Structure 1
Amino acid sequence: MANSSFSLLKTLRFLPFFLTQLSGAFNDALFKSAFTLLVTFYAAKFGGLSAAMASNLIAGLFILPFLLFSATSGQLSDKFDKTRLMRAVKVFEIVIVSVAAYGFLFEAAWVLYVCVFLMGVHSTIFGPAKYAYLPQHLSNNEVVGGNGLVEMATFVAILVGSIVAGELVHQGASGVWAIALLCVTVAVFGWAASQMMPVSQPMASLKNVQMNWNPLSETLHNLRIARQDMAVFYAMIGISWLWFFGAIFLTHFAPLAKEMLASNERVVTLMLATFSIGIGVGSVLCEKLSRHQLEIGLVPFGAMGMTVFGVDLYFAIGSFVQAGLPVGEMGAMDFLAHAGSVRLLTDLFLLSLFSGLYSVPLYTMIQTYAQPTHRARIIAANNILNALFMIVASLLALGLTAMGANVAQILGAAAVLNALVAIYIFRLVPTFFLRFFAWVVSGLLYRVRYVNRDVIPRQGAAILVANHVSFVDALLLMAASPRPIRFVMDAQIFKMPVLSWVFRKLNAIPITSAKDDAFLMEQAFLKVAKELEDGQLVCIFPEGRLTPDGKIGQFRQGISKILALHAAPVVPCALQGLWGSFFSRKYGAAMTRPFVRGFFSKVQVVVGQSILPEQATPSRLEAAVRDLRGDWA
């Protein structure tokens, strides 16, 4: 971890950006939390709206600019220097919080509502520049760690900002003065940090592109671009759903504390702190669990946790209420001493931790796979989708409130909806679930070490060749690769019950000998050539069958025919440590002796240097794989 992510904080290409982002997130949290608490607990002075109505109005005003201006902000980030744009945004932030200071000091609720909208404008412009900045200044191996740090910092800032807001609001008039002064001070600090950021010039081809000031047509254009790569588009949908889910929870902490838990603003701060710490821990933990690369298999894992602990939170609130509430509003210490508070906070923490595991791979996926010429505009389109989902979340919450639902029921409904939406998304894109399965196999059933995995090309056509030891070879190679792989496999294995479903979802290509089915063999070669023409990564096992004795068999001529149809670099890979496992044929039929090796057996996947297509003969590839595997079968 120290060598991959936190070490970025020592570099000028990341630290000033990190501090700029951190200060902005802190100010957002401080301002919105303070205003939400004031309109919740001091409604007579700040507008007189109900707690639920005020919370949803603040959320809606902050979201609205994402709908109106995201398309324009994406163009600005692609066309102009992102660093200069972010510096200008920080100047704008100083102006906004200065106006907000007036609203706080003179209890002018309408001024503060306007500033909420303007802070939304600030975030709308800053977001695409922020996420497009990272892949421009970080290497491929650093993007996951950089995203994790940014997500962690964002929610740590939310945590600290919420705690500070809660404490200062609790102190009355003097605290409100302190909030006004602190907002301005932090904005100035953020502007100063932005002055040290390195330049982020746009691609030369974008400098002369004409701006489209029509937000509707530009938004539709950006969505069409995103849909050219459905993996990016579905990642956008997944992120937008997280914002829907998070918006419902974050906007209901204050009403939950006041109306159901009989607690004061300090308990709201405690819940926000717990939620923020969980997101931060999950975001940083994501890099470790993904082994420092993009791992979309964590997305289903995160979705499962969000539902499980969201549903349990509903029951935890019910248990808390049924245990009996004291007269008056509880402070944080009384809340913690109350029966059920530990369960409630644990659910909040774990729900948010799994949300962090869910979000970081999706953001990294967009940054990694989006076309560099349109990256900021695709992120802007994602922001628009986020805004739409959050507006729907607010409308749903208001509708359920009007129907008589209490806060606990609204949160429970969101958790159940999360399960339904997750199932729908993973049916549309089974790769998410299959990568999760590969992650489980490679991380839980075995202790897998990957050697030289960075050699696998991140873009463009290439062929992986490997020895064939077990029925999980494809899953381990899938876990090693930063991108999807099209596997070519024996037709008999392809047809095996249960595994057949997995192979079909992987878009695997069945193949057989000419003797068994000449037509199927020819179709397989043509399909492989088409995948390579489309720039895909294809993997074949040139032995043509699982090893019956642990030794590497002779590589067949199929690889030569593939290269004759479409030349592409060939990357040799060796699987070590799988011979004798439950999934191998060491003891006869595979998968018949479940405890023969036990869990967490050591396995290694070794990747060799790519070989030019004209040099990639079967004998040379066989020798390369033998050298990589060595004596460890």
Structure 2
Amino acid sequence: MHNNNQFDLFKTRRFLPLFITQFLGAFNDNLFKNAMLVMIAFFGLGFAGINSATLINAAAGIFILPFFLFSATAGQLAERYDKAHLARFVKLMEIAIMAVAAAGFILQSAATLMVCLFMMGVHSALFGPLKYSILPQYLDERELLGGNGLIEMGTFIAILLGQIGGTLIIESNKENASLMAGAIASACVAVAVLGYLSSRAMPPAPPQAKNLKINWNIFTETWHIIRLSRRNLTVFHSLMGISWFWFFGAVYLTQLPSYAKDVLGGNAEVYTLLVALFSIGVGAGSALCEALSGRKVEIGLVPFGSIGMCIFGIDLYFAAPMSPAAQVGWLAFLQDASHWRLLADITLLGVFGGFFIVPLYALIQMRSEPEYRSRIIAANNILNSCFMVVSAVVSVLVLEAGATIPQLLLIVAIMNIPVALYVYGLQPEFLMRFLVWIATHTMYRVKHEGLDNIPEEGAAILVCNHVSFMDALVIGGAVRRPVRFVMDHRIFKVPVLNFIFRTAGAVPIAPAKEDPAMKERAFMKVQEYLSQGEVVCIFPEGKITFDGELNTFKAGVQELAQRSGAPVVPMALRGLWGSFFSRKDGSAMVKMPRRFWSRITLAASQPVPAAEVNVEDLQQRVLALRGNSK
């Protein structure tokens, strides 16, 4: 496991060869495609008398078509065969395609290049399910978010560099057609060969369903895997969220050339600058996900990402200049301070897009059954392609209705609001985790000590001192595994917190003398959670402290441990006494907040086996962990 951050993964054989292989594949896709499109647009490459605009639009459709046709088969192949071996086959296929493409460039044959473009789409469709479903086999769960972030970062940077590289090779050799063709042909073949060599270093990734019978009927299998993805609604809603991102991104990226030219008055350099900032933004947002989530799959970043996409998409409309410049280059455009707000909006759209998409990919990988994971990723590719096609249709209809390009982009940004509300209504876990993430990352700086003592799997009971109304949120935001809380029924009913607690499956409890039926129901529910191997957190004091000191622990935790056989992990919160949510100097949440983003600590010690659990001993362990810091 990497020690410091996700970039340590680059030191490992189980990640670096995969990263390089996918990076070179995405780079070559765009190197080849952009070089071909530049030759069509500016150097007269044509086919059957079709005008360049139509040919360019046809090229976009030709590249996407294989994702519809072959993703279902690709998902099955990735389940049935060793993924590392399959990656090498796909890279050999890329070398063959690029060899044919080299002939197409040299012969100036648009028909040959269009066939190769289709085959590169097939190559990408085959590699897509493989590269995402292989990550859970190569990486520990704690590394999954960081690994996905690096893959997304690498993909967008590769796309950007490929687009720039294809254009530069053509532009730098435009005086000599033969030299131009030879240069781009050589570059495409060389990158394909490097991709194959890097794939040979990938460790084995055994098949997850080696007895799977391949269904070669692409139509029935496509329908089958779409239905398969709906079996787990969390996974399916994540697929829809990713597909919405590609709808959103496709509209923006498709309109950027015209936006740069007609709205901003820039030349091709300004368009390249906008694409570069957006791609760098997505890469940066993807890489930041691990740091913001504490090395766990934090789906609370998804609403955060969608809010940012909405805010900066709307602001982009108001940041556009009233009167465009006259075909300025990137440097002159950048030097004009009136454009900085717009450039910041483009960059931050990408950053928050990274926050949005990376946790969704990691969530799909975690919650999909291993034997179906590649096919679920294939379903994702199919849905992404559908949404991208729909985005093109919507763009055409909106523009034909008389809207300007800035108005189209504004409409899509505003569409984020109902889409987000609909998705979070279907999957309230996203919104719940967002509220927890916001609460624990804006009010407090939480230091973790010994949280590795919490078992990675299987039932466990956490016991902790009860200092404030925020205790459960702090613990839930820090512990990697989902935690079911047992809490006083009065705290359970606190507005806003009630939504979080209900969505997280918290269990309200009352003392036996107050409501014996509620206490028995709570015990039964906790037993059910523990029997399913989940983590349950109990505040054994039974109430929030009034003086900062520990109240006497109740015996219920000892009874639960003995009934379930689950180990008990002592924990302690330090630094929350005196906060707005504590009862220091009077009732909680009525006095003026005196501090924000304060330092607090959550500490845990080694698990106590169920047979050794003693309530007095647990209290002493928690007290020792807390020390003198309340």
What interval of TM-score do these two structures reach, taking the shorter chain for normalisation? Answer: over 0.9
Shift of 1:579: 0.9
Q: How does 1:408-447 map to 2 (within 5 A)?
A: 408-447=406-445
Cα distance 1:620–1:39, how it changes in 2: closer, same or farther (>3 A)? farther
C-alpha distance in structure 2 between counterparts of 1:166 and 1:591, whole Å: 60
Q: Is the 8 A contact 2:435 2:500 kept in 1?
A: no
Corresponding residue number in structure 1 for 2:385: 387
Corresponding residue number in structure 1 for 2:351: 353
Secondary structure at the residue paired with 2:589? Answer: coil
Please identify, of 239-248 and 530-539, the stretch whose mean Cα deviation from structure 2 is larger: 530-539
Corresponding residue number in structure 1 for 2:151: 150
The alignment status of 1:282 with 2:323, answered yes or no, reads: no
Per-residue Cα deviation, 1:4-34 (whole angstroms, up to 9, x for no partner): 3222222222222221111111112222333
Q: Is the 8 A contact 1:494 1:510 kept in 2?
A: yes
2:302 pairs with one of 286, 292, 299: 299
TM-score by length of 2: 0.92
C-alpha distance in structure 1 between counterparts of 2:273 and 2:431, whole Å: 34
C-alpha distance in structure 1 between counterparts of 2:401 and 2:117, whole Å: 28
Secondary structure at the residue paired with 2:448? Answer: strand
Per-residue Cα deviation, 1:251-296 (whole angstroms, up to 9, x for no partner): 2222323444444332222221111111111111222112222221
Corresponding residue number in structure 2 for 1:629: 626
Cα distance 1:302–1:284, how it changes in 2: closer, same or farther (>3 A)? same
Shift of 1:224: 4.7
Q: CA RMSD in A?
A: 2.5
Q: Which runs of 4+ in 1 moved over 6 A?
A: none
C-alpha distance in structure 1 between counterparts of 2:387 and 2:339, whole Å: 31
Q: Which amino acid in structure 2 is aligned with residue 185 of structure 1?
A: A
Cα distance 1:562–1:54, how it changes in 2: closer, same or farther (>3 A)? farther
C-alpha distance in structure 2 between counterparts of 1:43 and 1:477, whole Å: 63
TM-score by length of 1: 0.92
1:197 pairs with one of 202, 215, 237: 202
C-alpha distance in structure 2 between counterparts of 1:23 and 1:411, whole Å: 31
- Residue identity over aligned pairs, in percent, reads 48
Per-residue Cα deviation, 1:288-331 (whole angstroms, up to 9, x for no partner): 112222221111111111111111222333x2xx32432xx443
Shift of 1:474: 0.9
Q: Is the 8 A contact 2:365 2:373 kept in 1?
A: yes
Corresponding residue number in structure 2 for 1:475: 473
Q: Is the 8 A contact 1:489 1:509 kept in 2?
A: yes
Per-residue Cα deviation, 1:381-437 (whole angstroms, up to 9, x for no partner): 222222222222222223223333333222222211122211221222222222222
1:540 pairs with one of 535, 538, 541: 538
C-alpha distance in structure 2 between counterparts of 1:209 and 1:523, whole Å: 44
The alignment status of 1:608 with 2:605, answered yes or no, reads: yes
Cα distance 1:217–1:511, how it changes in 2: closer, same or farther (>3 A)? farther
Q: Is the 8 A contact 2:45 2:108 kept in 1?
A: no
Shift of 1:471: 0.7
Shift of 1:618: 2.7
Please identify, of 33-42 and 479-488, the stretch whose mean Cα deviation from structure 2 is larger: 33-42
Q: Is the 8 A contact 2:262 2:324 kept in 1?
A: no
The alignment status of 1:184 with 2:185, answered yes or no, reads: no
Shift of 1:54: 5.5
Q: Is the 8 A contact 1:37 1:265 kept in 2?
A: no
Q: How does 1:561-572 map to 2 (within 5 A)?
A: 561-563=559-561, 566-572=564-570
Shift of 1:580: 1.1
Corresponding residue number in structure 2 for 1:62: 63
Please identify, of 265-274 and 165-174, the stretch whose mean Cα deviation from structure 2 is larger: 165-174
Cα distance 1:25–1:413, how it changes in 2: closer, same or farther (>3 A)? same
Secondary structure at the residue paired with 2:514? Answer: helix
Q: Is the 8 A contact 2:45 2:110 kept in 1?
A: no
C-alpha distance in structure 2 between counterparts of 1:631 and 1:97, whole Å: 68
Secondary structure at the residue paired with 2:134? Answer: helix
Q: Which amino acid in structure 1 is aligned with residue 310 of structure 2?
A: T
Cα distance 1:145–1:612, how it changes in 2: closer, same or farther (>3 A)? same
Cα distance 1:341–1:109, how it changes in 2: closer, same or farther (>3 A)? farther
Q: Is the 8 A contact 2:465 2:539 kept in 1?
A: yes
1:256 pairs with one of 233, 243, 259: 259
Cα distance 1:287–1:342, how it changes in 2: closer, same or farther (>3 A)? same
Equivalenced residue count is 624
Q: Is the 8 A contact 1:129 1:376 kept in 2?
A: yes
C-alpha distance in structure 1 between counterparts of 2:228 and 2:614, whole Å: 40
Corresponding residue number in structure 2 for 1:341: 339
Shift of 1:546: 0.4
